[in-house]
Amino acid sequence: MRTIGRASVAGLGVALPPSAVQDDLWEGFFDRHYAAGGRRGLAKRIFANAGVRTRQAAVSPLLEDVSDWSTERRMRRYQVEAVPLGKEAVGRALTDAGVAADELGLLAVCSCTGYATPGLDILLARDMGMSPRLQRLFVGHMGCYAALPGLGTVADFVAARGRPALLLCAELTSLHLQPPDARADIQQIVSHALFSDAAAAVVLTPGTSSGYAVSDVAALTDTTTAGHMTWDVTDLGFRMGLSPQVPDVLSVHVRDLVDDLLSRNGLAVVDVDGWAIHPGGPRILDVVQERLELPDDQLAASRGVLSAYGNCSSPTVLLVLEELRRRPEPPQRVVMLAFGPGLTLYGVLLERA
């Protein structure tokens, strides 16, 4: 077995469904959606303060109300919408990397918003001319942080096997709009105000000749707070549980995770000039900024992605990385951070050759 030892981000591609303005979503749908629950005023304030200006929906509530759809119907629609979105992101990433589809040794797909067999990994490999000997991996139900363990796993394959590989994160949260609830559950209001749809793909190649090398991966899970973030499969789609205590838990752990990741690589926070932080919401970003003592400009990419695209679950941190990559002077060293059920924190250190 040939060992290369390092893997680098050679290409990244993004695909987005049609976009809608947050205010239009409120006025055109959610205003009446919450009118019967007695918390219309609260819901309006949550939407206004979510930090989101525009976001995408493969199934827009302005056109289709899926809140009473069965889970079976939602899963069938997931396959219809996710396949072309995934193709677009994968095609752009391959073009950006200068890698042909049949050169890939591994295709990994992360998604927590839809399931079917054959899944995206099989259908995309078939439709895009990937090798029949392609190795495949599907990662489900990890939620917002899935891109980072996915990236680490793909990087390990590339480093060990010396072959290019691709990670696709595709999420259609719009399919999981929940029905009106007389209790006007605050956690549902928050999720409806934040979440969005997107697909992002990243190609990794052996060595460090181009792009960002994946230097290290770190994880930390606090299982004592496992109930703070949930994603339950119900008869009416998947239902989000999102405790307001999540930022407090992150405040306890995020500095330790980052210090451990950096110190074992001989680095400190001041040595990092790029931060790709998953914008789970404004409070999440505020807590991370405070605990890491970062200046406002280091959160600009994450806040910009939240404003323009919303929280797209697993692809979101890759959208932030793409913002950093496309700057006139990209950072030399990037720390990616994402958070999700568990409660779990993941970090990835990227360094330019």
Spell out the residues 6+ positions from residue 126 whose beta carbon is closer than 8 angstroms to its own: none
Tokens matching residue 142: 């990890």
Instruction: Please report the pLDDT score of residue 2 as a whole number.
Output: 41
Q: Same CATH fold, 212-352 and 7-206?
A: yes
> Is 195 exposed, middle or buried, given 0-12, 13-18 or 19+ CB atoms closer than 10 A?
buried
Instruction: Please report the pLDDT score of residue 37 as a whole number.
Output: 66
pLDDT reading at 32 higher than 50: yes
Instruction: Please report the pLDDT score of residue 3 as a whole number.
Output: 40
| 266-325 tens-digit pLDDT | 999 999 999 999 999 999 999 999 999 999 999 999 999 999 999 999 999 999 999 999
The ranges assigned to domains in the chain are 7-206, 212-352
Instruction: Please report the pLDDT score of residue 1 as a whole number.
Output: 33
Instruction: Tell me which architecture the domain covering 7-206 has in CATH.
Output: 3-Layer(aba) Sandwich (3.40)
Q: How far apart are CA 178 and CA 201, in angstroms?
A: 28
Element (H, E) at 110: strand 106-111
CATH number assigned to the domain covering 212-352: 3.40.47.10
Q: How many CB atoms lie within 10 A of CB 183?
A: 9
pTM: 0.96
Task: List, by residue number, the catalytic residues.
Answer: 144
Return the closest-CA partner of residue 297 out of 329, 341, 262.
329
| 170-201 tens-digit pLDDT | 999 999 999 987 555 899 999 999 999 999 99
pLDDT reading at 21 higher than 80: yes
Instruction: Please report the pLDDT score of residue 169 as a whole number.
Output: 98
Spell out the residues 6+ positions from residue 255 whose beta carbon is closer than 8 angstroms to its own: 291, 292
Question: Which stretches within the chain are classed as H helix?
Answer: 22-25, 31-33, 40-48, 71-97, 120-127, 147-161, 186-194, 246-263, 282-292, 300-309, 316-325
Instruction: Please report the pLDDT score of residue 91 as a whole number.
Output: 98
